[in-house]
Amino acid sequence: MTRRLTTATFTGLLTLNAAACFSQQQTPLNPSVTQAKPTPDVTSADDVSPLDQRPQPWRRRPEPILSARTTTQDWCRIVCYSPHVIHHDGRFHMWYLGTSEASRSNNIVMGYAESDDGFSWQAHPDNPVLTSDDIPWGQIIQTPFVMFDPSAQQFRMWFVSGAGVTKDASGKKIVVNDQQLGYATSPDGVSWSVQDQPLYKSGRSPSIVREAPHRYRMWMGSKPDFDVASGGLYGNIYEFHSVDGLSWIRSEQPTLRPVAPARSVVYPFVIRQGDTWHMWHGCHVDGGRFELFCATSKDGTNWDVDHKRPAFPAAKGKQRFDSRYTSTPCIVRLKNRLLLYYSARDWQTEYIDGSGQKRRDGAGVYSHIGVAELLLNK
Q: What is the pLDDT of residues 220-252, one digit of tens each?
A: 999 999 887 766 899 999 999 999 999 999 999
pLDDT of 14 above 70: no
Residue 32 has pLDDT above 80, yes or no: no
Point out which residues pair with 97 in neighbouring strands. Answer: 81, 110
Q: How far is Cα 184 from Cα 5, in angstroms, rounded to an integer?
A: 8
- Among left, alpha and beta (phi > 0; psi -120 to 50; other), residue 152 is alpha
Q: What's the N-to-C CA distance of the chain in angstroms?
A: 45
pLDDT at 16 over 60: no
- Tally the domains of the chain: 1
Peptide bond into 55 cis (omega under 30): yes
User: Mean of the per-residue pLDDT values for the chain?
Assistant: 89
Does some domain include residue 56?
yes
Q: What is the mean pLDDT of residues 199-225?
A: 96
Q: pLDDT tens-digit profile of 88-109? A: 999 999 999 999 999 999 999 9
Could you tell me the CATH number of the domain that includes residue 292?
A: 2.115.10.20
| pLDDT-derived band at 46, boundaries 50, 70, 90 | low
In a domain, 19, yes or no: no
What's the pLDDT score for residue 169? 81
In whole angstroms, give the CA distance from residue 251 to residue 26.
9
User: For residue range 306-329, what is the model confidence (pLDDT) as tens digits?
Assistant: 999 999 999 999 999 999 999 999
User: Quick check: is 85 in a domain?
Assistant: yes
Residues 253 and 303: beta-carbon distance below 8 Å: no
Which of 141, 143, 110, 87 shows the shortest CA–CA distance to 281?
A: 143
Task: Give domain status of residue 7, yes or no.
Answer: no
Q: Does residue 15 lie within any of the structural domains?
A: no
What pTM, to 2 d.p., does this model score? 0.89
Residue 234: other Cβ atoms inside 10 A: 21
Q: Residue 317's beta-bridge partner residues?
A: none
Query: Which pLDDT does position 228 carry in this prediction?
Result: 78
Name residues whose C-beta falls within 8 Å of residue 39's C-beta, 6 or more positions apart in sequence: 48, 52, 53, 54, 306, 309
Q: Is residue 182 part of a domain?
A: yes
Q: Is residue 359 part of a domain?
A: yes
Q: Is the residue at 115 inside a domain?
A: yes
Parent domain of 223: 41-375
